[in-house]
Structure 1
Amino acid sequence: MKVEQIYTGCLAQGAYYIESNGEAAIIDPLREVDPYIKMAQERNAIIKYVFETHFHADFVSGHIDLAKKTGADIVYGPTTMKTGFNAIIGKDGQEFKLGNASIKLIHTPGHTMESSCYLLIDENGNQTSLFTGDTLFIGDVGRPDLAQKVISELTQEKLAAHLFDSLRNKIMPLPDDIIIYPGHGAGSACGKMMSDETTDTLGHQKQTNYALRADMTKEDFIDAVLTGLTPPPGYFPQNVLMNIQGYESVDDVVEKGTIALSPSAFETALDHSQAIIIDTRDPKIFAKGFIHGSYNIGIDGSFATWVGTTIMNVKQPILIVADEGREEEVATRLARVGFDNTLGYLKGGIKAWINAGKETETITSVTAEKLAEIAQSKDISILDVRRSSEYNSEHVENAINTPLDYLKDSMTKIDKNKTYYVHCRSGYRSMIFVSILRSKGYKNLIDVHGGMKAIKESEKFKISEYVAPTSLL
């Protein structure tokens, strides 16, 4: 019997390949499914099942394409949702035979009402592993406020109460030596304090996970899991509906998104489509020359998450500027979070645009050392675009917190006629922030190269630190 975790860092997402005696199952696949098919072919295995732990919000699952390409059955836990595709709606406790092993569905409502975990039982009848989706993470549990975005009567308090019961009655009674394989790790917006670790034993989680404390009352639990939640990215409900209703094949989406456009064709598409240009190059390179209106969301970062956070509508037309050879990667990663309306990419990149005689813009960046020099001679205004929790932990004295996560609200704090110096932790988010605001007419924003890390290393700024009060967390 084989179990492989396929972890995708930019989404902090774990999919799983399970195989026994020539039969395989995939749990929570990403949208591009060919890698799973290749894995099975290399092992002379047939993919029999696609198990879904719930209707995902943070990415579009590959369940539909994978079933079409392999003939596998799609399995969900108990749900009242009618899907736009054929699926087995499993019952609590139902077992599915996989080679010499079996996989038992354990219905664990709370993160969503259909949320289910899958218990792997080996050929000897031993319970070995639990694939927990967004019900139980390493160090955390799934947030119980997302399903209400789709079903209004499901309040977060009701869902949190269900989650408490699911954890206590369905998961915690299992053997301590069971391996927990969660759906996400640190960096995912589906939880708030997940560990960097991506597996653990259930016994260790009972000792270390705040939400599994044996002495917790249901009221304590509800308070703990709801405290500190921030609004989820705007694309989440749209991804849920795509996962329920169905979607266009990812192969077709990527093919359309990788149409090579000459500078003239690119400009024409921009003029007639109301498209947003997403320039995926390194922030430092982007700042030296870009097309007016471009959003710089670097591909070498949490690309898909920030696209979904800053562009609210997944149907938004998009044009791509990318480093040569990475265009398909960009289109694929956009499709992972449901952005299927990519119209193509600039053939030859910015160099071709400039060679065609077309205009570019630049963004001014300063080092932390230079910023310190400027601050010595005059009063300056600093924008800190990190999350509020990061800002509260430590920040430059008198800096204004304008989180990128809540760009619309943050913009209200900014005077278009005033100059601001903008930083994040390392420079990735600050360039996203500055580039988007530049596209909206904010021309007096200067990026701080290296972000908070460089500012602290310069030792020339007073840093205010905050110590959180003791709580249930």
Structure 2
Amino acid sequence: MFFQHIYDKTLAQASYLVGCQKTGEAIVIDPKRDVDTYLDIAKQNGLRITHVTETHIHADFLSGARELSAITGAQMYLSDEGGEGWEYEFEHISLKHGNIIKVGNLTLEVLHTPGHTPESISFLLTDRPASLQPVMLFTGDFVFVGDIGRPDLLEKAAGIKGTQDAGALQMYKSIQMFAHLPDFVQVWPGHGAGSACGKALGAVPSSTVGYEKIRNWAFQYEKDETGFVNYLLADQPEPPKYFAMMKKLNKVNRPLLTSVPQPKKLSAAEVKEAMDKGMKLIDTRNKVDFAAGFVPDSLNIQGNNAFATWMGWFVNYEEPFMLVASEAQIEDLTRKLMRIGLDNIYGFISDVNELDVELAKVNLIDIEEFKSHIGQEGVQIIDLRGASEFKNGHVEGADNVFVGTLLNNLSKISREKQVIIHCQGGDRAAIAYSILVKNGFQNVKNYSAGMNEWISQGNPVQIEETEAAVC
């Protein structure tokens, strides 16, 4: 048997290529959209991709299953377990609980594991030449290392009312089934630490059924359904805005993108003309370089591992946009955007100094100046972190406005007072500063070092009690 774990650290998303070396057949599970990765792996190992499958209709990335099938001719095997409204709307082979997918001498048994979504399935792999006992379970967003999939995304991100409580109850039943699998079965989940699909995902890539039964919080509520549901739904991170679009695009018959686009390098005149017409300029430089000099009205979304996630918060799927990025960086950024379906890159420019505009600078402050503003009547301190982060410890008197929802909450930011913004380590504050300045706020200061420095120097924090606790 051939096995490879492919991990996209930018979305904390895992996919898998599993092959039968005797017959040369291979299956890809939960592929990302830039599918050349899988084609290269298969070619290097003498395999043909003959099967493609998914664990569920994804919300956090745009699946590459259809692209991979179009290029290779592989059959697509997709869940038919969700009921009305949860059917894939393009041609595929439907899967039900108990169905078997054969890949050469390998078999993958389909297990219906609803909870995260109604149609969620897992795949129990048996390497039949080696043993008749199963060896691996590909869980998607069902069981993670140390956590389980959240059932509230359909309601919070996609607006499907009344689904989170039903999903939590389904998840409770699904983990009972999981607990009856052999302890030695390896668990390979769809996400790792940093994903918004759970709240406490482990950083290691895999686990076993037996280990999860010992360490995963979900299995400590074996006879307490109410406690399980309450804890599962409490303090989940804010789902990115683009999740609703991913649910739609992964379900419907959409246009395919079978190669990585090559954005056009723009002239200064083209950038100016586009900005004059209202097109967004996204500056992907690091926050230090942006602070030293940026194009007025541009947004600072750094081209790091969180780039695609924040782009999904602040760029919609209809509008074209431009990037500030080096030529060496543009392919990587384009791939990151492909993975969430943001394909409308108008072009890019590498050097902001090429534009005939006076660059602005970020008003940065240090911890001593930050302290001098605390408690002052004419000052508003804005903590840009998520609600659960804020509850776990914040500066006294700070207001919490999560950066992802800032555009919808500008009315909560004072235009008269001195506004001080901060987050954990400065990245979210860099985004927020550019948003506020673009929207006419003239009284903003950025304490970029944020809670990391505040806490490391032993300064006090206020903690808010939460209702749920691990038993």
Residue 303 (structure 1) aligned to one of 299, 302, 307? 307
1:443 maps to which residue? 442
2:281 maps to which residue? 277
> Does the Cα contact within 8 Å between 1:280 and 1:323 map onto a contact in 2?
no
1:335 maps to which residue? 338
Q: Mean Cα displacement is larger for which, 25-34 or 216-225?
A: 216-225
Residue 144 (structure 1) aligned to one of 115, 126, 151? 151
> Does the Cα contact within 8 Å between 1:403 and 1:410 map onto a contact in 2?
no
Query: What is the identity, as a one-letter code, of the residue corresponding to 1:199?
Result: S
2:423 maps to which residue? 424
Q: Give the whole-Å Cα distance in 1 for the aligned partners of 2:294 and 2:159.
A: 42
1:93-124 CA-to-partner distances (Å, cap 9, x unmatched) read 11111222111111112211211001110122
1:471 maps to which residue? 469
1:314-357 CA-to-partner distances (Å, cap 9, x unmatched) read 223211111331112222212211212221112x321322xxx2
Q: Secondary structure at the match of 1:103?
A: strand
1:403 maps to which residue? 402
Q: Give the whole-Å Cα distance in 2 for the aligned partners of 1:400 and 1:150.
A: 27
1:359 maps to which residue? 358
Q: CA deviation at 1:153?
A: 6.5
Q: Mean Cα displacement is larger for which, 378-387 or 201-210?
A: 378-387
1:202-250 CA-to-partner distances (Å, cap 9, x unmatched) read 1111112222236334333322222223552221111111111133333
1:20 maps to which residue? 20
2:3 maps to which residue? 3
Aligned pairs for 1:71-470 (under 5 A) are 71-79=73-81, 80=84, 81-123=86-128, 124-148=131-155, 152=160, 155-169=163-177, 171-213=178-220, 215-229=222-236, 231-251=238-258, 254-255=261-262, 258-272=263-277, 274-311=278-315, 313-346=316-349, 348-353=350-355, 357-372=356-371, 380-408=379-407, 410-459=409-458, 461-466=459-464, 468=466
Q: CA deviation at 1:254?
A: 2.5
Q: Mean Cα displacement is larger for which, 365-374 or 175-184?
A: 365-374
Q: CA deviation at 1:266?
A: 1.6
1:47 maps to which residue? 49
Query: What is the identity, as a one-letter code, of the residue corresponding to 1:442?
Result: F
> Does the Cα contact within 8 Å between 1:324 and 1:349 map onto a contact in 2?
no
Cα RMSD between the aligned structures? 2.4
> Does the Cα contact within 8 Å between 1:318 and 1:342 map onto a contact in 2?
yes
Q: CA deviation at 1:376?
A: 11
Is there any run of 5+ residues in structure 2 with no aligned partner, and where? none
Q: Give the whole-Å Cα distance in 2 for the aligned partners of 1:434 and 1:417.
A: 16
Report the count of equivalent residues: 463
Q: Secondary structure at the match of 2:251?
A: helix
> Does the Cα contact within 8 Å between 2:283 and 2:298 map onto a contact in 1?
yes
Cα gap change, 1:317/1:288 in structure 2, threshold over 3 Å: closer, same or farther? same
1:428-472 CA-to-partner distances (Å, cap 9, x unmatched) read 11101111111111122111232222233445x443345656635
> Does the Cα contact within 8 Å between 1:368 and 1:449 map onto a contact in 2?
no
> Does the Cα contact within 8 Å between 1:396 and 1:463 map onto a contact in 2?
yes
Q: Give the whole-Å Cα distance in 1 for the aligned partners of 2:353 and 2:20.
A: 52
Q: Mean Cα displacement is larger for which, 206-215 or 244-253?
A: 244-253
TM-score by length of 1: 0.91
> Does the Cα contact within 8 Å between 1:10 and 1:304 map onto a contact in 2?
yes
Q: CA deviation at 1:136?
A: 1.2
Q: Give the whole-Å Cα distance in 2 for the aligned partners of 1:376 and 1:104.
A: 61
Cα gap change, 1:147/1:383 in structure 2, threshold over 3 Å: closer, same or farther? closer
Cα gap change, 1:54/1:449 in structure 2, threshold over 3 Å: closer, same or farther? same
Q: Secondary structure at the match of 2:292?
A: coil
> Does the Cα contact within 8 Å between 2:423 and 2:448 map onto a contact in 1?
no
Query: What is the identity, as a one-letter code, of the residue corresponding to 1:454?
Result: E
Q: Give the whole-Å Cα distance in 2 for the aligned partners of 1:470 and 1:82.
A: 35
Q: Percent identity?
A: 33
> Does the Cα contact within 8 Å between 1:310 and 1:407 map onto a contact in 2?
no
> Does the Cα contact within 8 Å between 1:76 and 1:114 map onto a contact in 2?
no
> Does the Cα contact within 8 Å between 2:138 and 2:190 map onto a contact in 1?
yes
Q: Give the whole-Å Cα distance in 2 for the aligned partners of 1:251 and 1:130.
A: 29
Is there any run of 5+ residues in structure 1 with no aligned partner, and where? none
Cα gap change, 1:94/1:14 in structure 2, threshold over 3 Å: closer, same or farther? same
Q: Give the whole-Å Cα distance in 2 for the aligned partners of 1:23 and 1:338.
A: 29
TM-score by length of 2: 0.91
Query: What is the identity, as a one-letter code, of the residue corresponding to 1:241?
Result: K
Q: Secondary structure at the match of 2:197?
A: coil
Q: CA deviation at 1:372?
A: 4.0
Q: Give the whole-Å Cα distance in 1 for the aligned partners of 2:279 and 2:336.
A: 18
Cα gap change, 1:375/1:83 in structure 2, threshold over 3 Å: closer, same or farther? closer
Cα gap change, 1:161/1:334 in structure 2, threshold over 3 Å: closer, same or farther? same
Q: CA deviation at 1:378?
A: 9.5
> Does the Cα contact within 8 Å between 2:422 and 2:447 map onto a contact in 1?
yes
Q: Give the whole-Å Cα distance in 1 for the aligned partners of 2:461 and 2:224.
A: 39
Cα gap change, 1:157/1:467 in structure 2, threshold over 3 Å: closer, same or farther? closer
